[in-house]
Amino acid sequence: MDRAGLDIAPAFITFIEERALPGTGIDADAFWCGVAAILDRFVPDNHSLLAERDRLQAAIDAWHQDNPFEADAYQAFLTQIGYLVHEPAPFAVDPANVDAEIATMAGPQLVVPILNARFLLNAANARWGSLYDALYGTDALPGSATRGGYDPGRGAQVIAWAKAFLDDIAPLSNGSWTDWTGGTPDLGDPSQLVGRDGETLLLRHNGLHIELVIDRSHPIGRTDPAGIADVVLESALTAICDLEDSVAAVDAQDKVAAYDNWLGLMRGDLTASFAKGGETVTRTLAADRRYTAPDGTTLTLPGRSLLFVRNVGHLMTNPAIRLPDGSEAPEGILDAIVTSLIALHDDGHNSRTGSIYIVKPKMHGPDEAAFTDRLFDAVEDLLGLPRYTIKVGLMDEERRTSANLAACIHAVRHRLVFINTGFLDRTGDEMHTSMHAGPMIPKGEMKTSGWIAAYENRNVQIGLACGLSGRAQIGKGMWAAPDRMADMLDQKIGHPKTGANTAWVPSPTAATLHATHYHRVDVFDRQRERSREPVAPLAALLTMPVAEAGRNWSADEVRAELDNNAQGILGYVVRWIDQGIGCSKVPDMHDVGLMEDRATLRISSQHIANWLLHGVATEAEVDAAFARMAAKVDAQNAGDPQYRPMGGREGDSLAYRAARALVFDGIAQPNGYTEPLLHRFRKMQKAAR
């Protein structure tokens, strides 16, 4: 169907004109003309930026093929070709109207696939979580509950941990919370008591709230000296609703489903019904929470996480709109327009300051960041929004962005509210950028390599130097093992200790447990300490994770690495291609469930491609690994009635063919991204139904 000279999918037109536009005051014809004008203006620049990526990669490949590595010469070369740019003069970001959850609070952040309404509701409602439940039902504490109803022994273990936690963060003047029998607690710092709801108490520490649920009729409260039935923590302050790495959206139908869920979140009417315990359960968005403050006034706190929406990057296109020349429109441009349009329906239950929060992934360097800034300007003009209403989260996950981070931040300084690190995508780009430098070290060695430490440190140090503290989030990456909460409690406290005021978690339960870290660490004090540190040198960041010359790769080492990579690739790809699942808990080689998305796929496929290029592994060895791991993945998915086995039908399994192509065509993929091949094979699968 035609609108303003564009060929637009009927389902997309229906969604925009019947769902998204009503209530905004924007005329449909004016909207489509504005969309056409934005596409006409920005598509050529989008193409030029992608061509620049290709030019730089070709130059780097040629340099490695012609030159032995020498740090100073390499850095001079990167500067000469424009890969490295001059640092901007000292500056501070200055976004206006930023919500407290982003600017002045520190706490966990969820990332959730936008195509799954149930997961979206879980994430939005994860602003508050039961500490008792999180401890009782996970391995956060030693042992586990016995089956068949409530286990009093496990319950006592949970209560003891929670009250020791309260003793640490909100100590009484005398004694322990274990001995408290009710009434008004004699707090060491009386200002920590900020509200009541009946007998239930509301405390605050390090900017986060803790609700002590007093209910003497509750089975737990009846056994407690003070009637404490639960300890509820303010948990996921923010959540990212993801249109990118964790979804499989390849056509107009998929995009409409994704946009419609975002609309439901912004309007507050999203619901999801599902079977649980033999009954149908309908989930809705949580209401705000109200308490009586010590002065008798009403204290209202948000019931939901503050929501970002992660748009698609600059690379991919989507057939929802075709341009006059018949080509597909860049998906990132569509996302910027449509997700911002939908955000006009926010009545203040998301952003209380009137801002729109968009995370922009996979940008390469300051020119691409500046492009996004100009694009958001144009979207604001189309929608009649004041300048810099649309805020941007800058994902520091590509090497050229890491190496020029201050310049990237400067390009979006008036709307920047977020930077973060992401080990997997960043490592995937590291390997692809340096593909011809030599064989890469095994994946297990990557996390202790020198460039990773420099990357993580520079991200925080540069963010602080650019004035993000008190204005924006400095974030860290995902804990990928949702069933390993004891390990998370032990290790993920390292993120707030770095000065990061948020970090990604895989579930609401993990958010509640990770929230305890932000009570134990005053992040803003830590940021003040770290702001005095010198920034780690660029040379350390540019040290490539290439194996030492002459490394003797044993047959067992090669086989183990290939099997690990192939199993991860197949386990993820088979669900993406056959079922359209972009993020799920995928069992690893040892049957440990890991939250996987395309970033995981990128690192694994690029690693095998690198080893093939440098002769560490042969094509026959890789194919043998794929065959072995297809059988393993089939066995791991044997209980899924929708699963289509790959073993024995490698020639006709589109999922198997896609997995293999990601490796054997990996070097040719733009910046090592997996999306082009995944989209092609997913479209083939949908067409074959």
Considering all CA atoms of the chain, what is the largest pairwise distance in Å, rounded to the nearest integer?
Answer: 77
Query: For residues 180 and 159, is the Cβ–Cβ distance under 8 A?
Result: no
- Distance from C-alpha of 594 to C-alpha of 604, rounded to nearest angstrom: 14
Query: For residues 493 and 519, is the Cβ–Cβ distance under 8 A?
Result: no
> Which ranges of 384-420 would DSSP assign to H, the alpha helix?
399-403, 405-411
Short-list 153, 175, 178, 152, CA closest to 163:
178
Catalytic pick from 310, 399, 471, 530? Answer: 310
- Distance from C-alpha of 53 to C-alpha of 81, rounded to nearest angstrom: 11
Catalytic pick from 99, 597, 660, 682? Answer: 597
Please state the separation of Cα 61 from the chain's center in Å.
30
**Which tokens sit at 671?**
């910046």
Q: What are phi and psi of 296, to 5 degrees?
A: 90, -10
The DSSP annotation for 455-487 comes to: HHHHHHHHHHHTT-TTTSEEEE-----TT-HHH
3-state secondary structure 125-162: HHHEEEHHHHHHCCCCCCCCCCCCCCCHHHHHHHHHHH
Question: Around 574, how many Cα atoms within 13 Å sit in the side-chain half-sphere?
Answer: 32
Query: For residues 497 and 127, is the Cβ–Cβ distance under 8 A?
Result: no
User: What does each C-alpha distance from 617 to 553, 556, 609 come to in angstroms?
Assistant: 9, 11, 9
- Distance from C-alpha of 321 to C-alpha of 317, rounded to nearest angstrom: 9
Q: What are phi and psi of 328, to 5 degrees?
A: -75, 145
- Distance from C-alpha of 552 to C-alpha of 558, rounded to nearest angstrom: 10
Known catalytic residue: 222? no
Strand-pair partners of 208: 205
Angle, helices 555-579 vs 654-664, to 10°: value is 130
**Which tokens sit at 359?**
């995370």
**Which secondary structure element, helix H or strand E, spans residue 242, and what is its range?**
strand 238-242
- Distance from C-alpha of 480 to C-alpha of 444, rounded to nearest angstrom: 15
3-state secondary structure 647-686: CCCCCCCHHHHHHHHHHHCCCCCHHHCCHHHHHHHHHHHH
- Distance from C-alpha of 459 to C-alpha of 540, rounded to nearest angstrom: 13
Known catalytic residue: 310? yes
User: What does each C-alpha distance from 537 to 88, 433, 605 come to in angstroms?
Assistant: 16, 20, 30
Angle, helices 598-613 vs 654-664, to 10°: value is 50
Instruction: Report the catalytic residues.
Output: 310, 597
